[in-house]
Amino acid sequence: FAVGYEGKDFIAAGDPLPIAEMVYQQQPPDLGLTQADWDHLIALYDEEIRYFDTQFRKLLDGLEERGLLGNTLIAVVSDHGEEFLEHGDVKHCRNVFDTQVRTPLLLKIPGSNPQRFDQAVQNLDLAPTLLDYAGIDASSLNLEGQSLRPLIEADVDAPVQARIAFSRWKDLRSV
């Protein structure tokens, strides 16, 4: 946390909305922000991440203390990244760069070893995967995603259907 920051009130409060309004209203590119302003906003964002990490650790510790961690399926997902003018954007959901669309999808499956997959998967695969592991037939639910269980368990008799991952925002598209 950036202790001792003495700048703009909205930045001290961690509110990038006024910056976004300046950027998206086509104001001059000089936003009048100092490096200390950006450092403070980024430090506040990093603090949010540290807070989540701390709370998540408490959750895992609580499960372990109760003897539940070994047989609990845990999913950690994110919907988008944040930007601090890396591509001329502030906040999120304004473009289809990797910083916005490549997000974590972490699953801890009881009895499964840690793995990393090169195959594209999508957040919409999460619900079918969780339902599959819960033993619930999702075939009648008309979900767009597909269970990742065959990929996770390397079931060669039931491979995950190869596909392309898409993203879009307004008139922007990525494949």
Task: Summarize pLDDT for 6-28 with one digit per residue, the tens.
Answer: 887 887 888 877 777 766 665 54
pTM (2 decimals)?
Answer: 0.72
Is residue 29's pLDDT more than 60? Answer: no
Q: What is the mean pLDDT of the chain?
A: 81
pLDDT of residue 1: 46
Q: What are phi and psi of 2, to 5 degrees?
A: -80, 85
> Using an 8 Å Cβ cutoff, are 55 and 61 in contact?
no
Which has the higher per-residue pLDDT, 116 or 131? 131
Dist. CA 32–CA 120, nearest whole Å = 40
Strands 172-174 and 167-169: antiparallel
Residue 45: pLDDT band (50, 70, 90) is confident
What DSSP character marks residue 124?
G
Longest dimension (CA), the chain: 62
- pLDDT tens-digit readout, 57-109: 999 999 999 999 999 999 998 877 677 777 766 766 677 777 777 788 889 99
User: Which residue would you say has higher pLDDT here, 135 or 97?
Assistant: 135
Q: Above 70 in pLDDT, residue 166?
A: yes
